[in-house]
Amino acid sequence: MKASVRSELKNSLFIIAGLLIASVGYRMYLIPNQVVNGGFTGVGQLLNHALGVGVGTVNIALNVPLFLVSMRSMGLRFGVRSLIAMLLLSLLIDHMPLPPATDDLLLAAVYGGAISGIGLGLVLRGNATTGGTDMLASLLHRVIPTLKVSYAIFFFDGLVIIASAFAFEPQAAMYGLISTFLCNVLIDLVLEGPNSAHSYFIISDNSDAIAERILRDMDRGVTALEAMGMYSHAHKRVLLCVVNRFEAMRLRRIIFEVDPKAFVIANKAYEVLGEGFKPM
């Protein structure tokens, strides 16, 4: 079996498992108990309560335009894989035949947030995304460069959770915050352990092309370090790039699309201070 086929099969298994697990979190815990953990799914829960529209249907309606706008920058394979993942998750959320597991709001928030986080983390491990506020924030950042992606995500998710306090009851927003926190913690753990930022050293004969792709497609900074191979005594440029958890798989894909023979060193960053990450 070719390496590319094995890679796609592995990605597909991660995505399928992730979608099934995430849908369990939503169907059995979050949606029946009106616990909103932000994102477009949270918007769907609010509209489902007000208008009776399916949560997954709302998720599709909000995500499809974003995918159409972002498909080119995402890359065809990654974009199509992510679009399919988003559609399948939405269908599972609306139609997966699972009964509520509990009517205790605290248990629903804890287990719903943790289980959905594990599922979404596996989808990301499969080199795909389910869209949502992350994609919306990235698009807005391209239009308004001064608007940081992390702030935009926090703003949108915060609005959804605050709205749930009025749509349901104030306690719903409190439990929603617990669920959102646990969801993000579990996504981190599934992806790369407890650290959310990663630094990559990239050694390649095509460093200029790789840097151009990172700057253009990911809107991330890249630093070129002058180096010399001690065996060949050849001078090369070593690229240094720091990305967050959602961008790690995408960065790897870009590197090896440009140069399949690239040598890459990935390090977990304990803390990253500066533009695009944590402010001082």
Q: Which residue has the higher pLDDT, 108 or 170?
A: 108
pLDDT in the model for residue 254: 92
The per-residue pLDDT for 193 is 57
79 vs 100: which has the higher pLDDT:
100
Mean pLDDT throughout 34-54?
90
Q: What is this structure's pTM?
A: 0.73
User: Closest Cα to residue 33, out of 100, 115, 113?
Assistant: 100
277 within a domain of the structure (yes/no): no
Residue-level pLDDT at 216: 87
146 and 211 part of one domain? no
**One domain for residues 252 and 166:** no
Total number of domains in the chain = 2
Is residue 103 in a domain? yes
Whether the per-residue pLDDT at 264 is higher than 60: the answer is yes
Q: Looking at the structure, do residues 175 and 222 belong to the same domain, yes or no?
A: no
Based on DSSP, count helices (H) and strands (E) in the chain, helices before strands.
10, 4
Contact 193, 268 (CB under 8 A): yes
Could you say which of 143, 176, 192 is where a domain stops? Answer: 192
C-alpha span between 10 and 2 (Å, rounded): 12
Give the pLDDT of residue 104.
93
User: 76-95 vs 55-74: helix axis angle to the nearest 10?
Assistant: 180
46 and 154 co-located in one domain: yes
| Lowest-confidence segment of 185-194, 204-213, 228-237 by average pLDDT | 185-194
Q: Which of 30-39, 104-113, 124-133, 170-179 has the lowest mean pLDDT?
A: 124-133
Mean pLDDT of 20-36: 94
Last residue of a domain, one of 173, 192, 211: 192
Centre a 10 Å sphere on the Cβ of residue 72 and count the other Cβ atoms it contains: 10
Question: Do 147 and 19 share a structural domain?
Answer: yes
**Is position 276 within any domain?**
no
Range of the domain at 229: 197-269
Q: What CATH number is attached to the domain comprising 257?
A: 3.30.70.120
Boundary of a domain, candidates 151, 173, 192 = 192
Going by pLDDT thresholds of 50, 70 and 90, the confidence category of residue 196 is low
CB 271 within 8 A of CB 244: no
Q: Given this model, what pLDDT does residue 280 score?
A: 60
Task: Specify the pLDDT at position 276.
Answer: 67
- More confident call, 258 vs 2: 258
